[in-house]
Amino acid sequence: MTYQRVLLKLSGEALMGNLGYGIDPKVVADIAQEIADVVQTGVQIAVVVGGGNIFRGVKAAAAGMDRATADYVGMIATVMNAITLQDALEQINIPTRVLTAIAMQEVAEPYIRRRAIRHLEKGRVVVFGAGSGNPFFTTDTTAALRAAEIDAEVVFKATKVDGVYDCDPHKNPNARRYQSLTYGHVLTHDLRVMDGTAIALCKENNIPIMVFDLTVSGNILRAVKGEPVGTIVGG
Ligand code: UDP
């Protein structure tokens, strides 16, 4: 295996499948199985889940809601996804702990960095809920932050496309896919890999980002093995 400890960023939309809103249990079960396949190789995996399938702070703020309040709702939405993913993993006997950045002790453990690392060392999947705990941030930035905190070797940014293109492949048939990119190129050209804060954090901490298509079965494991399944962003 190329990597021993990875941080997987799952957007809320990844859990939505083809539904317009919410969580598709079949899709979550499939993702859980992909994660299980990684855990069974002995590789440690932590997951940051988004919440865009349920609530997005920016969107609610645009409709008139107070931005910080809306972001707290968004963070709570991510906890729903985190607990759902935990359930799917435990259905297939993969021990999983949800750690939330906003205390919700009845349903999950509070985020404590050393505890997260300990869980990983014991072979448990760690799912980080409630983003960073701060409004005005995203779960992409949370992924970069947690990856740095737990010493993950790589961030896996699982999406619906097989990497980063020079323009939208759905709109332009001549779009070219990059094999690798520098952080600087992503930032300068505003390529929408992750938001700028997340890219800057990964750059500062020298954590590569692998962007790949989650909908292709086996891709998480391929990425762990270091196969070129998508675009790698690095120094
Ligand atoms: N959010 C936040 N702080 C964080 C992470 C998330 O306020 O550190 C809120 C924000 O409102 C965001 C929502 O949670 O819109 C859901 O997260 P995100 O949009 O990153 O989810 P994704 O796009 O990955 O599904």
pLDDT digits (tens, 9 = 90+) for 163-198: 999 888 888 999 999 999 999 999 999 998 999 999
- DSSP three-state, residue 142: helix
Distance, C-alpha 3 to centroid of its chain: 16
| Exposure of 81 in the CB half-sphere (CA atoms within 13 A) | 36
Q: Pick out the residues of the known binding site for UMP.
A: 51, 71, 132-139
Q: What number is the average pLDDT over the span 67-72?
A: 98
Cβ–Cβ < 8 Å for 161, 178? no
- What's the chain's length in residues? 235
Ligand 1 pocket check: which of 54, 71, 102, 201 to mutate, most ligand atoms within 8 Å of Cβ? 71
Cβ–Cβ < 8 Å for 39, 55? no
In this structure, what DSSP letter does residue 162 have?
Answer: S
Q: Pick out the residues of the known binding site for ATP.
A: 9-12, 52, 56, 159, 165, 168
Cβ–Cβ < 8 Å for 156, 207? no
Amino acid in the structure at residue 150: I
- DSSP three-state, residue 94: coil
CA-wise closest residue to 211 among 183, 175, 173 = 183
Q: For the CA atoms of the chain, what is the radius of gyration?
A: 17
| pLDDT computed for residue 169 by the predictor | 84
Amino acid in the structure at residue 193: V
In this structure, what DSSP letter does residue 103 have?
Answer: -
Q: Rounded CA gap, 7 and 228, in Å? A: 17
Q: Which class is 5-234 in CATH?
A: alpha beta
Query: What ligand 1 atom has the least distance to the C-alpha of 59?
Result: 15
Pocket of ligand 1 (CB under 6 A): 11-13, 50-52, 56-58, 70-71, 74-75, 77-78, 131-132, 134-135, 137-140, 142
Q: What number is the average pLDDT over the span 1-24?
A: 96
Q: Pick out the residues of the known binding site.
A: 9-12, 51-52, 56, 71, 132-139, 159, 165, 168
| pLDDT computed for residue 92 by the predictor | 98
Mean pLDDT of the chain: 97
| pLDDT computed for residue 160 by the predictor | 87
Query: What ligand 1 atom has the least distance to the C-alpha of 72?
Result: 7
pLDDT at 78 exceeding the cut of 90: yes
Cβ–Cβ < 8 Å for 116, 101? no
Q: What number is the average pLDDT over the span 127-141?
A: 98
Q: What number is the average pLDDT over the span 117-125?
A: 98
| DSSP H helical ranges for the chain | 12-16, 25-39, 57-62, 67-91, 113-121, 139-149, 183-188, 196-204, 219-224
Cβ–Cβ < 8 Å for 129, 101? yes
ipTM score over 0.90, yes or no: yes
